[in-house]
Structure 1
Amino acid sequence: MIQFSSTYRSEEKEIMDDLTFHGPEMEQLLVDLSKVNRFLGGNRITLNGLGYLMKERMGKPTTSIVDVGCGDGETLRRCYFWGKRNNYEFNLMGLDANIHIIKEAEERSEGIKNINFKAVNVLDEKEPIPKHDIAVFSLFLHHFPEKEIEQILSRVWAQCSTGIIINDLHRSVWAFNLFRIFSAFFVKTKTARHDGLVSVARGFRRHELEKLASGLEGSHRIKWKWAFRYQWIIKK
């Protein structure tokens, strides 16, 4: 039974946190996650943040974007097509600690220009973060406790020239119950149903994000977005 608290972030692990997770269950889980993002508008939040930060890059010929915890690369593919529609030239790099997911991302992104993937554990100080203009964290930071979030953001910030876009979950009983209902009809895998509920329980209240922001450099903007998400933008 997955425990939910409005007061505290859950410490329960997701099945996807196992870096050896692979095979047909992983492949279908990634399809389920894409479906949830599409139906509940999650990608729009990231693209909205990208539009906000691109105002800082007017006149720049190219922009490098790193997606930290990229999963199957869907966010980067959405960024690529958004860039094409808006006449931006992007160099896209996805980072994920699970080599099996990286291989899946490469397959699903085949034929897309200027998109690459690399297996990197961002908590490992020995593994370098590539220099970039904009970093994206989409449904990634909730996997970690606060100390590790601070460590990850500090490492990425040091290699970033323009800003960071964070798109993550609002920990709310309404969101918890909404996902339970949604997943009963539209999510195929038990893993995705389990991990989705754990993700909400590990999500954030606004004051928790504000506390994290207070210890970091940059200019911070935190906004609530439908469906039960927070958009947190950190600008140089």
Structure 2
Amino acid sequence: MNPFASLRVPIERDEEMDAAELSPENYARVLADLSRINALTLAPRPTLGFLDRVRARGVGDRPWRILDVGFGAGDMLARIARWGDKRGVALDLVGVDLNRKSEAVAAMRLGARARLITGDYRALAGQGWDVILSSLVTHHMTAEQRSEYLRFMENEAARGWLVNDLHRQRLPFAGYPLLATLAWVDPIVRRDGQLSVGRSFRRAEWRTMLAKALPDTANECRIFRSFPYRLCVERVR
């Protein structure tokens, strides 16, 4: 993709890894390489920081029920499990993903640490969630799907929720292909990673989305940057 393509608005194009015809073997390789890129770009950092802020409000006397929407390779759930062990916080971890090919990949990483579900997160309403979170998911959604997802989290997460996604800026958009090349990742990860930056959002766009989806509580949500190029939205109750 042209590194100087317009980023005035999010790019509207589907990513290759979402294609139904991608074989399970290729999909597993893509997820493995994406996990490496996530580690290199400090993807867990804002998620674990958010959990620390939730913990500062009190741990309580029962395990936290945490739902990871779009769990992919399960790498974020694995990091959350280690966070809970280190902090002494008992966790009941659940992941949901629309792609049926994700479950086998994540199960190898997580074992019995998390319950993995293939399906729609909306089917899990009313199940007593303490925390709902996602990473690199919201830019895959349509505008209406994002609004519905924000309302779901606001209504269902007793302790708080987090959107961990990318920041649409020129430097990561132009520079990501070089990182991907140096990391020897699958070409799909190289192409999709750059496209993901182009599909993601800026602070003003998140403010508009929050005001539309959550008019009564948008001001209680925090939009923040996380090094190097993440833009996140959190609500800590």
- Tell me what 1:201 maps to: 198
- Tell me what 1:128 maps to: 124
Q: Report how far residue 116 of structure 1 moved.
A: 0.6
Structure 2 unmatched runs, 5+:
none
Q: Conserved in 2, the CA contact under 8 Å of 1:65 and 1:92?
A: yes
In the superposition, relative to structure 1, how do residues 151 and 20 fare at CA in structure 2: closer, same or farther (>3 Å)? farther
Structure with more of its chain in helix, by fraction? 2
Within 5 Å, give how 1:16-165 maps onto structure 2: 16-19=17-20, 21-110=22-111, 112-113=112-113, 115-122=114-121, 127-129=123-125, 130-165=127-162
Name the aligned partner's letter for residue 124 of structure 2.
P
C-alpha distance in 1 between matches for 2:148 and 2:184? 33
- Tell me what 1:210 maps to: 207
Name the aligned partner's letter for residue 109 of structure 1.
L
Q: How many residues align?
A: 231
Please report the TM-score for the alignment, with normalisation by the length of structure 1. 0.91
- Tell me what 1:186 maps to: 183
Q: Conserved in 2, the CA contact under 8 Å of 1:43 and 1:75?
A: yes
Q: Report how far residue 145 of structure 1 moved.
A: 2.4
Name the aligned partner's letter for residue 119 of structure 1.
T
CA RMSD between the two structures: 1.8
Please report the TM-score for the alignment, with normalisation by the length of structure 2. 0.91
**What secondary structure does 2:115 align onto?**
strand
Q: Conserved in 1, the CA contact under 8 Å of 2:78 and 2:109?
A: no
Name the aligned partner's letter for residue 157 of structure 1.
E
C-alpha distance in 2 between matches for 1:153 and 1:141? 10
C-alpha distance in 2 between matches for 1:57 and 1:138? 24
Percent identity between matched residues is 26
Structure 1 unmatched runs, 5+:
none
Q: Report how far residue 77 of structure 1 moved.
A: 0.8
Q: Conserved in 1, the CA contact under 8 Å of 2:66 and 2:93?
A: yes
Q: Conserved in 2, the CA contact under 8 Å of 1:137 and 1:167?
A: yes
Q: Report how far residue 19 of structure 1 moved.
A: 4.6
Q: Conserved in 1, the CA contact under 8 Å of 2:169 and 2:197?
A: yes
